[in-house]
A and B are shown apart, each in its own frame.
Chain A
Amino acid sequence: MGLILSDDQLILRDMARSFCEEKSPVERMRTLRDNQDETGFTRALWKEMAELGWVGIPFPEDLGGSDMGYGELGVVLAECGRVLAPEPFLSTVLLGGNAILLGGQESLQKELLPGVCSGDRLLALAFQEHGRFSPYHVETRAVATGSEFRVSGEKLFVLDGHVADQIVTVVRSSGEAGDREGLTLLVIDSGAPGVTVQRTTMMDGRNAARVSFNETPVDAGRLLGEVGHGADVLDPVFDRATVALCAEMFGSFEEAFERTLEYLKTREQFGVKIGSFQALRHRIAHMFGELEFARSVLLDAQTSIDEGRDDVAECASAVKARCSDVASLIGAEAVQMHGGIGMTDEEETGLFFKRLKAAEFTLGDAVYHRNRYAGLRGY
């Protein structure tokens, strides 16, 4: 099982699809972008998604969650991807929330996660320090002094960092940049002394920020996992977030594919539909294959998490390598096949193209994940 949607998942998909079509057409994302909206998404909509139980999907009921699986989460995220909804699933639920769920003491979970599930608390995970994803390449330092840490350093590409209430931060307490050992995860209030958050405007209209820490004091009780062993928490957090991101990407490139297919059937040049040209037919048929293979690999990766299989890491890298390649292909072909109109900001193809490129580079591109996959497979 797991390679097809269950009846319950089909119902959830239909519900999510009508919700997104009604409340979040692609136009909403454009308006948020053009208005340089302060939040960058719609808090009221996020609250509605929380009330529907979607925000709390991966969290247990005693923490306010709805205790469902990545199969269900994937269904919702794919629909969000279809309409380019910028709500903070990745930052708040999958990165920040999962880090606290997988690494936090019970008291910390009880303090922070119910607010996440209710849609009131926003989180971010500050991990990246370089352009290309390289999770252990951390130079931000934490020095332990008595019952607290002092954190100094700078992070970039902190998703939703400008609105997060807490920023889960990956710091180095020993070793050198690149070492898996020596990482530590700390929950830092965004208003803490020495924290500077600079919002950055991104190509895809999504939210990200540069966050710097200058001798920021963090209580030892805000530690996730063990000092120096943060990677033990970080790895499974990234695996889950990566699989969920792929579900969102899938929704986006499936929509871009379907719009392009429709365009080939309607656009006329030389007196015929351009879909009659074999040069285009072969390319879109190939894209269909990529889409179907991505669907299978995604469903399998979601199942690997939900069934607690021991190959989650392999599945996560397999699906991100594939979805990154497919996003790149379908994004580029959608623009190319739409021709000049595809280059305009007015036509929505470009919005999908830009979101897909950003998602391709988020949490590791295809080259990164093929290397990781090879390592996991013993070569």
Chain B
Amino acid sequence: MGSIEDFRSEAHDWIEANLPSELRVGNRKDLPKELLGAWIQAMASRGWVAPEWPTEYGGGGLDRSHAAALRAELKAFRAPVVGGFGTQMLGPTLLELGTDAQKEEFLPGICKHETKWCQGYSEPGAGSDLASLQTRAVLEGDEYVITGQKIWTTGADRADWIFCLVRTDPEAPKHEGISFILFPMDQPGVEVSPLRLIDGSEDFSQVFFNGARAKASHVIGPVNGGWTVAKRLLQHERTTDGGSEGGITGAQKETYADVVKREVGFDNGVLADPVLRQRLASQEQEAAALSLTMRRAREEARAGQTARDIGSLGKYRWANMVKGEQDLAMLALGAHGLGWEGPGFEDTQLERTRAWLSTRSDSIWGGTNEVQLNVIAKRVLHIPE
């Protein structure tokens, strides 16, 4: 692999040539579909949808530092982030725990961004206590027949496949009777019913299984050994979130700090409200500290120093930080932050309302704050229960 500088400059030129200006606006929902499709195809052709995966599965074969250079270039161009459950969560888990046949079957589809995945974890009766899940899978010949219900399934209405936790041994202790299985969504036994959330979005669904079928060869890891696989995947999820930066959420064009400064105003060069000034400084310091802590964890791992697992800590602090940023923007906006839709409000104000509502879930999904603190107490601090 060539030098980082050469690679970064090559990546820069390639992005410059392939990324249309209409797409250089960050992750927005209203991006022109055809342009976006072409961009994803171009990225897939270089293996850059999954830059660190092996080239034999369609990945980019880059090492960590080259991949970081690529991400930095993409970010500098404000390129839309290509990826999802397949690249961020299932892929890394398959690379680690899947058989060769499973990797060959599923990884290329993720790298080409052809197969969209969704995550079947939570159930109405299994939220924080995920291991109490009840969806049943019964072996019939070389297929499992699946009955039950999942909830909070992001993108279930668009997904081609689901990775799903199912109970394969109802007699075993709750952690030991679970399997991790993959199956297609487009089949008679699967029904998707979207859920409307407090921010008005309908990205989540309830999914009902009534005799859905999965190949027995599509169990990842050992049968009844799915809990280990599930936890490994959640670690990938937490790494992803803790590592990302706050500030601009989704489609927002201005940061929470921009909003505070504009709405509060200045008095002799100093933010006019001393309390909001304190809170803005706290938020900025928290964002810097989170990013430094994540960097330190990577440096410790690279240097082979005993690194404590800070995945749960990162998720916990990240969630609080993101919520705090939106809280602060809302405080500064006052009534301008209360609009729901229609005339009388600017788009940026309406987006801010929705963002504030939507970020309430950051301390809930992927393990609530309380669950993360439990994990830290038990696994990091080793306090007996």
Binding site for B on A (CB under 8 A): 1, 3-5, 261, 264-265, 273, 275-276, 278, 281-282, 284-286, 288-289, 292-293, 295-297, 299-300, 318, 321-322, 367, 370-371, 373-375, 377-379
Determine the distance from Cα of A65 to Cα of B101 in the docked complex, in whole angstroms: 64
B285–A322 touching, CB < 8 Å: yes
A261 adjacent to B383 (CB under 8 Å): yes
The verdict on A296 contacting B381 (CB below 8 Å), with A281-B373, A289-B316 known, is no
Q: How far is the CB of B184 from chain A (nearest CB, A)?
A: 40
B315 to chain A, nearest CB (A): 11
Given A4-B296, A285-B376, A379-B289 contact (CB < 8 Å): no
Please state if B285 and A373 are interface contacts (CB–CB under 8 Å): yes
Q: Which residues of B are found within 8 Å of A378, using beta-carbon distances?
A: 269
How far is the CB of A278 from the nearest CB of chain B, in Å? 7
Contact pattern, B 365-382, Cβ under 8 Å of A = 1, otherwise 0: 000001011101110110
Inter-chain contact B284/A296, CB cutoff 8 Å = no
Option from B270, B300, B374 in Cβ contact (under 8 Å) with A4: B300
- Chain B residues near A379 (CB, 8 Å)? 261, 266, 270-271, 277, 280
| Complex contact B282–A370 (CB within 8 A) | yes
A78 to B118, CA, bound (A): 48
Please tell me if the beta carbons of A367 and B278 are within 8 angstroms of each other in the complex: yes
B317 within 8 A of A: yes
Contact B383 A297 (CB under 8 A): no
Task: Decide: B278 and A297 in contact? CB cutoff 8 A.
Answer: no
B290 interfacial by beta-carbon distance below 8 Å: yes
B281: Cβ under 8 A from any A Cβ: yes
Contact assessment for B384 and A318 in the assembled complex, using a CB-CB cutoff below 8 Å: no
B367 to chain A, nearest CB (A): 13
Q: Which residue of A lies closest to B375 (CB)?
A: A285
Total number of B residues with any Cβ neighbor in A under 8 Å: 42
Decide: B313 and A292 in contact? CB cutoff 8 A: yes
Check if B376 sits within 8 Å of A288, measured CB to CB.
yes
In the complex, which of the residues A265, A276, A318, A375 contacts B288, with contact meaning CB atoms closer than 8 Å? A318
Checking A264, A289, A321 against B313 with a beta-carbon cut-off of 8 angstroms, the contacting residue is A289
A285 to B370, CA, bound (A): 10
- A296 / chain B contacts, CB cutoff of 8 Å: 289, 292-293, 295-296
Evaluate contact between B383 and A275: CB separation under 8 angstroms.
yes
Contact of B248 with A by CB under 8 A: no
B22 within 8 A of A: no
**For the complex, what is the distance from the CA of A288 to the CA of B317, rounded to whole Å?**
11
Looking across the interface, which residue of chain A has its beta carbon closest to that of B310?
Answer: A292
Task: For the complex formed, measure the closest distance between the CB of B109 and the CB atoms of chain A, giving whole angstroms.
Answer: 38
Measured between beta carbons, the chain B residues less than 8 angstroms from A273 are 383-384
Q: Residue of B at shortest CB range from A274?
A: B383
Q: Nearest chain A CB to B48's CB is how many angstroms away?
A: 28
CB distance from B313 to the nearest CB of A (A): 5
**CB distance B292 to A3 under 8 Å?**
yes
Separation of A300 and B271 alpha carbons in the complex (Å): 27
Q: Which 3 pairs show the lowest CB-CB distances between chains A and B?
A: A285-B376, A281-B377, A3-B296
Smallest Cβ distance from B259 to chain A, in angstroms?
Answer: 13
The smallest beta-carbon distance between B273 and chain A, in angstroms, is: 11
Determine which of B277, B286, B372 lies in contact with A371 in the assembled complex, contact meaning CB atoms within 8 Å: B277
Whole-angstrom CA separation of A80 from B107 in the bound complex: 53
Nearest opposing residue in chain B for A261, CB measure: B381
What chain A residues lie within 8 Å of B270 (beta carbons)? 374-375, 379
Q: List 10 A-B contacts (CB under 8 A).
A: A261-B381, A275-B383, A285-B377, A289-B313, A292-B310, A293-B289, A318-B289, A370-B282, A374-B271, A379-B280
Known contacts A261-B383, A321-B281, A377-B281; is-contact A4 B373 (Cβ 8 Å): no
Contact A284–B300 (Cβ < 8 Å): no
B30 at the interface (CB under 8 A from A): no
Q: Contact check, B383 vs A281: say whether CB atoms are below 8 A apart.
A: yes
